[in-house]
Structure 1
């Protein structure tokens, strides 16, 4: 039984996100996405009338949705430090599990934005803004004022993304572990100043 067209579309988007993470936008061609996903060639322009540009754009949004859902899941415990520790741990698992081949597909699209895909940078910026809002809301719920929460959220995203690049270049988890430890300590102190002793904020173990 052949897959439904909607299945083909979803598989192509997921495959494009995986290829972006591992090989970058330049290597994420329609042919490679079809080979990776097993989708029929005839489905490409049915689902993506703007071709490769649209496919990569939707892969960026998909990757953003996946990570946003994971941030939300980690946040349900109610401890912002533990939630952000968990986000670092997720990236640790992804890097080690892929032998340092898999990075962030959103970054891959952002740095490749050009005349072929000028909206990729805008799409990446929208994803980063969404993650920043999620982390910011988490820190506000932990007791930080909104302006500082947003600054810290932006800093956390930058630290994670930069550490992932360093880890892939060095084939080592040390940059990510260093960033995780420093941000853990920063958040423990920032939240303790707002919440006072005995609240449990910052009690999560370091990654």
Structure 2
């Protein structure tokens, strides 16, 4: 159910996804969703955001090693490019979808989204620092990478074209290469 919710939020957003949609997509018995998420849709969304955040973070962590500062950008941007193309530009980031639609009555949901973004930034900053970018700058670059890639993903969906993301990746890689201290 959690994976199904994350998947559906990517395409339909938080407001456009209901319990019925999640039940239909996951094949779970109707009563089970109320059993596992007694606090309602916000609780399900919180778990879906955690799942999506952990899933992508694990991919970044597993794929990034060595001293190539741009590898983290390739992994992070490449993930979203594949999602966009595979979904014919209908799917984006479930964390973004929940973030832009979360309300004051769901502070835990907003906190879960913030934690997912922070985890990605921390993983990217660590990869950048390990490849020679000074620690202080690595943190700022990681924030820029997450922000730029997420923004480019939104532009790609609007334009139904991967070019904005491709352009952002090229520029982020150039900026990152320039940030690596010479040995």
1:104 equivalent to 2:84? Answer no
1:113 equivalent to 2:90? Answer no
1:153 and 1:23 mapped to 2: Cα distance?
28
When normalised by structure 2's length, the TM-score is 0.95
2:13 and 2:66 mapped to 1: Cα distance?
34
Shift of residue 78, structure 1, vs aligned partner? 4.5
1:139 equivalent to 2:148? Answer no
When normalised by structure 1's length, the TM-score is 0.85
1:80-99 map, 5 Å: 80-99=69-88
Structure 1 residues 45 and 118: alpha-carbon distance in aligned structure 2, compared to 1, 3 A threshold: same
Counterpart of 1:170 in structure 2 is: 159
Shift of residue 87, structure 1, vs aligned partner? 2.0
1:70 and 1:163 mapped to 2: Cα distance?
20
How many correspondences in the alignment?
Answer: 183
Q: Which has the larger radius of gyration?
A: 1
Among 14, 20, 36, the alignment partner of 1:25 is: 14
Counterpart of 1:203 in structure 2 is: none
1:17 and 1:47 mapped to 2: Cα distance?
16
Counterpart of 1:195 in structure 2 is: 182
Shift of residue 77, structure 1, vs aligned partner? 4.5
Shift of residue 189, structure 1, vs aligned partner? 1.6
Check conservation: 1:53, 1:116, Cα contact below 8 A: no
- State which drifts further: 157-166 or 119-128: 119-128
Gap regions ≥5 residues in structure 2: none
1:125 equivalent to 2:133? Answer no
Q: Secondary structure at the match of 2:95?
A: helix
- State which drifts further: 46-55 or 59-68: 46-55
Counterpart of 1:5 in structure 2 is: none
Considering only aligned residues, what root-mean-square deviation do their CA atoms show, in Å?
A: 1.2
Shift of residue 118, structure 1, vs aligned partner? 3.1
1:44 equivalent to 2:20? Answer no
Structure 1 residues 112 and 84: alpha-carbon distance in aligned structure 2, compared to 1, 3 A threshold: same
Check conservation: 1:113, 1:119, Cα contact below 8 A: no
CA offsets 1:12-41 (integer angstroms, 9 cap, x no match): 000000011101000111011001110001
Shift of residue 86, structure 1, vs aligned partner? 2.5
